[in-house]
Each structure stands twice: as structure tokens, then as C-alpha cells.
């Protein structure tokens, strides 16, 4: 897969241009599936926030869904174990992009494994994964205790498809826990490279190469 790992979604022209480059065609010619599953595991989220996200009107979220996709569907991971793989895998394979919303990263990791979607990743070479917050963090090897709210006693083991960790929402207005000082403190507990990124920043990963696209603020907290 090709990865567009964001903090706040496709929030500016530079990130949008990066997305188009990964797709290899205009967004208007591309199909996408929106995955809201991570929200169910986060204490701040619930039915209303999921509805807003699906409708493209989530507070503070410019939207993953309202970018002008040719076609757009919703894929709820918690439903997939009750369906045959023959029913849902074509939906995934036919999508140009998977739009993965924020929430609780470890809850999302659990359902990516439990649903069987994670097992498909090696075969989705041309699919673009667009992560927002937890939807990006789930691809990393560690998220750190600061961002764990679901089953905090379990191992800190998200999917680890990349070799760096992410501190999202850097300097988000009103969030005193997301300052650069807090990010640097968080990084001391992360065994490996990590980035702090704000909502105007994205990390692009293709064929193992990592590139930062930003119209905002970001910092490498631990050198790669």
C-alpha cells in the first residue's frame, strides 16, 4: 500500500497534491471507502461524531469524505467478521483509497486484525491508505501510553507497517497535552524514530521512502 499519514486529514493544497500523486489520477476519478471504526473505541466519540464524520461535517475535521470522490462508501470493520470474505474483499480491492478516521488507535488495530483486513495489506499494492490521527498511528510500531485509552494494560503493538511513530495534533488549539514539549517528553518513551506533526502536515510513505509534506509545523523527535 501507499500511505498518506495525516494528523487532521487533507487540510491544504500540498496534502491534496500528495494524495493525487499517490492515486495517480484525479480524486474525481477515484473511489474510496471510509472506515470510522476507531471512533467507537475512543471516550470522546460516539454515534453523533461518527455520523458527522460520515457526512463530512465533523467538528475540527475538514473531512476525508468530502474531497470530491467519484464514489464513496463506508466500511465498518466490526461488521466484517460476521460476513464471508467473498462478500467484502471485492469492496476493498476495488477501492482506490481507504480513508481511515481517527479515534482509538489500538482499538482500530484490534479490528483491522480481527476483521481480516490487515491480512489483505500485502496484496493491496496500489491502494492508498489515508489515515487521520489514529488512522495514521495504527500503522506505526508504538503509540505510547499517552494515546492509549482502550485496554491500557495490553501490549503497545499497533500494526508496525512503518518504522516510525507519530505524535499527532501538534499545538492543536486548546489542547495543552499536545505541545512540542509534551511531544518531546512522549518521544523519550518511544523506542525508535518519531515525528510530531500538526494538522497541516502529512507523512507520505511509498516503497519504504518517507517524505514529509507540510504547510504547518512538524519536528523529527528522534532521528531516523
* Residue-level pLDDT, tens digit, the chain, 224 residues: 999 999 999 999 999 999 999 999 999 999 999 999 999 989 888 998 888 888 875 444 557 999 999 999 999 999 999 999 999 999 999 999 999 999 999 999 999 999 999 999 999 999 999 999 999 999 999 999 989 989 888 999 999 999 999 999 999 988 888 999 999 999 999 999 999 999 999 999 999 999 999 999 999 998 66
Q: Where are the domains of the chain?
A: 2-222
Q: What does pTM read for this prediction?
A: 0.94
Q: Does CATH number 3.40.50.880 belong to domain 2-222? A: yes
What's residue 61's pLDDT?
Answer: 53
Compute, in degrees rounded to 10, the torsion defined by CA atoms 32, 96, 112, 44. -30
What's residue 50's pLDDT?
Answer: 85
Distance of alpha carbon 14 from its chain centroid, rounded?
Answer: 18
Give the neighbor-by-neighbor strand order of the sheet with 128-132. 71-74, 31-35, 97-100, 128-132, 2-6, 201-206, 209-214
> What does the alpha-carbon distance between residue 124 and residue 7 come to, in Å, rounded to a whole number?
23
Amino acid at each position: 500500500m501507499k500511505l498518506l499519514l495525516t494528523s487532521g486529514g487533507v487540510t491544504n493544497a500540498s496534502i491534496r497534491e500528495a494524495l493525487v500523486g499517490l492515486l495517480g489520477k484525479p480524486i474525481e476519478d477515484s473511489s474510496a471507502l471510509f472506515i470510522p471504526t476507531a471512533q467507537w473505541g475512543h471516550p470522546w466519540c460516539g454515534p453523533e461524531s461518527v455520523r458527522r464524520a460520515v457526512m463530512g461535517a465533523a467538528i475540527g475535521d475538514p473531512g476525508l469524505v468530502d474531497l470530491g470522490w467519484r464514489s464513496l462508501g463506508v466500511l465498518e470493520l466490526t461488521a466484517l467478521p460476521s460476513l464471508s470474505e467473498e462478500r467484502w474483499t471485492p469492496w476493498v480491492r476495488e477501492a482506490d483509497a481507504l480513508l481511515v478516521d481517527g479515534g482509538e488507535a489500538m482499538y482500530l488495530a484490534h479490528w483491522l486484525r480481527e476483521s481480516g483486513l490487515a491480512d489483505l495489506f500485502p496484496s493491496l499494492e496500489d491502494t492508498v491508505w489515508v489515515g487521520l490521527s489514529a488512522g495514521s498511528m495504527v500503522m506505526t510500531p508504538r503509540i505510547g501510553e499517552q494515546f492509549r485509552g482502550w485496554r491500557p494494560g495490553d501490549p503497545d503493538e499497533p500494526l508496525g507497517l512503518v518504522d516510525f511513530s507519530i505524535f499527532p495534533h501538534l499545538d492543536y488549539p486548546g489542547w495543552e497535552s499536545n505541545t512540542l514539549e509534551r511531544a518531546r517528553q512522549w518521544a523519550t518513551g518511544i523506542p525508535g524514530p518519531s515525528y510530531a506533526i500538526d494538522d497541516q502536515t502529512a507523512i507520505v510513505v511509498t516503497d519504504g521512502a518517507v517524505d514529509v509534506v507540510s504547510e504547518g509545523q512538524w519536528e523529527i523527535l528522534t532521528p531516523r
